[in-house]
Each structure stands twice: as structure tokens, then as C-alpha cells.
Amino acid sequence: MARQSDKDLQEKVLFINRCSKVVKGGRKFSFSALILVGDGEGKVGYGFAKANELTDAIRKGGETARKNIHDVVMEGTTIPHEIKVKWDGVEVLLKPTPEGSGVVAGSLVRAVLEMAGIKDVMAKNLGGNNPINQVKATFKALLSLRPREYIKELRQ
């Protein structure tokens, strides 16, 4: 895990959930926020936080995301190899594509890939629509990628 200066990082709110609890005086609301940070050059992280105020949840999620920044293995503008990963009920498939084809993916997976700086990739969500699990599955896939040289060494 690498630390990055805050000025280089972009922050994006991926998902906000409002939860209500009925109490004696009425309804009490709480919020959870899923936040993504990245520099667009191979470093990306996410944070999930809960709070009674929306702004506090977003702030806490951003702080958590900045603490959990990871390096992503890239080969030019794409990923080195195809990968299929399962996390809870969500399964994500990532495939490298030729340069210039762009990011072909659903909204949450697309946001993670673009924030990481990957420009040419095809992604498919093969099950589940829980936003937190989609992001976790995408991160698991990105962190499971290995450079081409490493794979060549294993095969010899």
C-alpha cells in the first residue's frame, strides 16, 4: 500500500444510502457513503463509512479511502491479462482490449477503472447489483493482476 499526497488525488462519491429508524419523536436518519479516490495513474482506493450526517459520512469515507490506496498493475493503457473474480454474490470479469477501444463497463466498475487510470478494458458484472460488493470485487480483480514478466517466469 502506498501513500499519496492529497493534492494529486481525485475523490468521487459512488453510492449514498439513507437508513431510517423510527423512534419516539419521529424518524432518525443515518447515512452511509461509498467513496473512491485515485490519481488516474495507477493508484486507487475506496472507503465506506456511516454517520448521522451525510457530510460526515462522505468525509469519513474519503479519509478511509486515502488510507487504503493500492497500486494497480497496468500494461500501457490496459490490463496485462483476463481475470474473473467472485466476491459474495458479485462476479466481475475484466478483459484487456486494444488501445483506443475505451472502458466498456457498468457504472461502478467503470468508475473504479477510470479512477485507476485504465483506459482500454472490457468489464462485465456477472451477478449481483450490490454497489459495495461490486467495488470490492473490482478491487480484488485489480489487486490479483500480475505483470506479464512475472507470469512468463512462472511458466518456465
Q: Is 127 helix (H, G, I), strand (E, B) or coil?
A: coil
Domain 6-70 has CATH 3.90.550.10: no
**Structure confidence at residue 5 as a pLDDT band (50, 70, 90):** low
Strands 121-125, 103-104: pairing is: parallel
Beta strands across the sheet bearing 83-87: 83-87, 90-96, 121-125, 103-104
Segment 88-98 shows an average pLDDT of 95
Lowest mean pLDDT among 84-88, 130-134, 143-147, 151-155: 151-155
**Structure confidence at residue 154 as a pLDDT band (50, 70, 90):** confident
Segment 106-132 shows an average pLDDT of 94
Close Cβ partners of 65 (under 8 Å, ≥ 6 residues apart): 11, 35, 36, 37, 45, 46, 47
**Structure confidence at residue 82 as a pLDDT band (50, 70, 90):** very high
Inter-residue contact 49 to 61 (CB < 8 Å): yes
* Residue range(s) in the chain whose domain bears CATH number 3.30.160.20: 6-70
Strands 10-23, 26-38: pairing is: antiparallel
Residue 7: per-residue pLDDT: 67
pLDDT in tens, 12-39: 999 999 999 999 999 999 999 999 999 9
**DSSP code of residue 11:** E
Q: Give all strands (DSSP E) within the chain, no chain letters.
A: 10-23, 26-38, 43-51, 70-71, 83-87, 90-96, 103-104, 121-125
Domain 73-155 has CATH 3.30.230.10: yes
N-term to C-term CA, the chain: 29
**Structure confidence at residue 152 as a pLDDT band (50, 70, 90):** confident
Residue 121: per-residue pLDDT: 96
**Structure confidence at residue 77 as a pLDDT band (50, 70, 90):** very high
Inter-residue contact 154 to 112 (CB < 8 Å): no
Inter-residue contact 37 to 44 (CB < 8 Å): yes
**Whether the predicted pLDDT of 99 surpasses 90:** yes
* Residue range(s) in the chain whose domain bears CATH number 3.30.230.10: 73-155
pLDDT in tens, 35-52: 999 999 999 999 999 999
